[in-house]
Amino acid sequence: MKSIVPSLVAETSSLVAMESLACGTPVIALRSGALPEIVEHGRTGFIVSDVRGIARALLKVDRLDPDECRVVAQGRFSAHSMAEKYLSLYEQLIRKHPRN
């Protein structure tokens, strides 16, 4: 199974790609918006520039490990992981801009 995200919209995130990875489905996506930050080229899917790139990626996508996609998604996009990242960011901001 594979997920193709041919979106040209410059989204700030792509729930479709994140949910696909969480299900162990490698993603083939056009280089648009946040997709290059979500899909790790050659590890959890492929980021391509055009329809020909999608066709080439389809020939290689079955080599990717679905378990690796799930592990990466869990580490990057789980509720726990996201909360930890937000807390870390808030702590950095507080240290950088202490209230007097």
Q: What is the CATH number of the domain that holds 17?
A: 3.40.50.2000
User: Domain count of the chain?
Assistant: 1
Residue 100 has pLDDT above 70, yes or no: no
- Residue 46 has phi, psi (to 5 degrees) of -135, 135
Q: Between 2 and 78, where is the model more confident?
A: 78
Arithmetic mean of pLDDT, 9-24: 88
Q: Which amino acid is residue 70, in one-letter code?
A: R
Distance CA 17, CA 35 (A): 8
Q: Which amino acid is residue 74, in one-letter code?
A: Q
Is the dihedral angle over the CA atoms 39, 28, 3, 42 positive or is it negative? negative
Asked whether 57 and 48 are in contact (CB, 8 A), the reply is: yes
pLDDT tens-digit map of 62-99 = 999 999 999 999 999 899 988 998 999 999 999 999 87
pLDDT tens-digit map of 30-71 = 999 899 999 999 999 999 999 999 999 999 999 999 999 999
Domain region containing 36: 3-96
Note the pLDDT of residue 9: 79
